[in-house]
Amino acid sequence: MKQQPTMPFTAEQMADIVRACDDYGRKCRGGKYRGPENASRIRAFVLLLCHSGLRLGDAVTLERSRITGDKLFLYTAKTGTPVYVPLPDFVLTALGTAPKISERYFFWTGESKIESASGDWQRSLKGVFKQAGIPDGHAHRFRDTFAVGLLQAGVPMERVSFPTECYTGLRPTNGDENRRRRHPRVSVGPLRSESGFPLPRE
């Protein structure tokens, strides 16, 4: 079955999602966390997804050691693709102020199965999307948002290591693919307001 394209979130939708993190998080419980603590962890998770382009599973299992200064580096679990990206200060602040669930991981205790932890976060995101009034919200759309933001900011397609044809209608040329294979480790700029997707920072 051919995978259906997904679309990036608009700036308005992203603003609604970030606000919904607080509203939904404060009224629902996430494991042992509730109220402001739960809202803080959900907000940090959403900001990480949107500004790193990580798949949900890679975000759930993100190790603290993978962020040095403002740079995130890891190999994705699904394909082994290296990801090297600077994170905006407000994302680092959100990660740093979220409740510490583990000494090793940001969003996973490391004690449960990854599938179970990912399922918990999928349910939390579903609640956030419902709160934000986005019935077709999905974690993969954060990756779309990140990738399209990079393209709009002028980053060459061969430096955006996502299936960009899914959300831009553009297909990489053979030259794009060859350059991507030769230079898999690439530093790309974070999604910022000038790329067309401003996010609330407070």
Each residue's pLDDT tens digit, 17-73: 999 999 999 888 766 777 889 999 999 999 999 999 899 999 999 999 999 999 999
Q: In the prediction, which pLDDT does 34 show?
A: 76
Q: In the prediction, which pLDDT does 56 show?
A: 95
Residue 109 predicted with pLDDT over 70: yes
Q: What is the pLDDT of residues 120-177, one digit of tens each?
A: 999 999 999 999 999 999 999 998 888 888 887 777 777 665 544 444 444 444 444 4
Q: How far is CA 165 from the centre of its chain?
A: 19
Q: How far is CA 132 from the centre of its chain?
A: 17
Is the separation of the CB atoms in 60 and 117 below 8 Å? yes
Domain boundaries, the chain: 11-194
Q: In the prediction, which pLDDT does 1 show?
A: 47
Residue 74 predicted with pLDDT over 50: yes
The SS3 call for residue 31 is coil
Q: Name the nearest CA neighbour of 183 among 163, 157, 164, 165.
A: 157
Residue 82 predicted with pLDDT over 60: yes
Q: Report, as an integer, the average pLDDT of 84-106.
A: 93
Residue 183 predicted with pLDDT over 80: no
Give CATH for domain 11-194.
Answer: 1.10.443.10
Q: Report, as an integer, the average pLDDT of 79-96.
A: 89
Q: In the prediction, which pLDDT does 161 show?
A: 58
Is the separation of the CB atoms in 91 and 171 below 8 Å? no
Model pTM score: 0.80
Pairing relation of β-strands 82-86 and 71-75? antiparallel
Q: How far apart are CA 92 and CA 88, in angstroms?
A: 7
Q: In the prediction, which pLDDT does 187 show?
A: 36
Is the separation of the CB atoms in 187 and 86 below 8 Å? yes
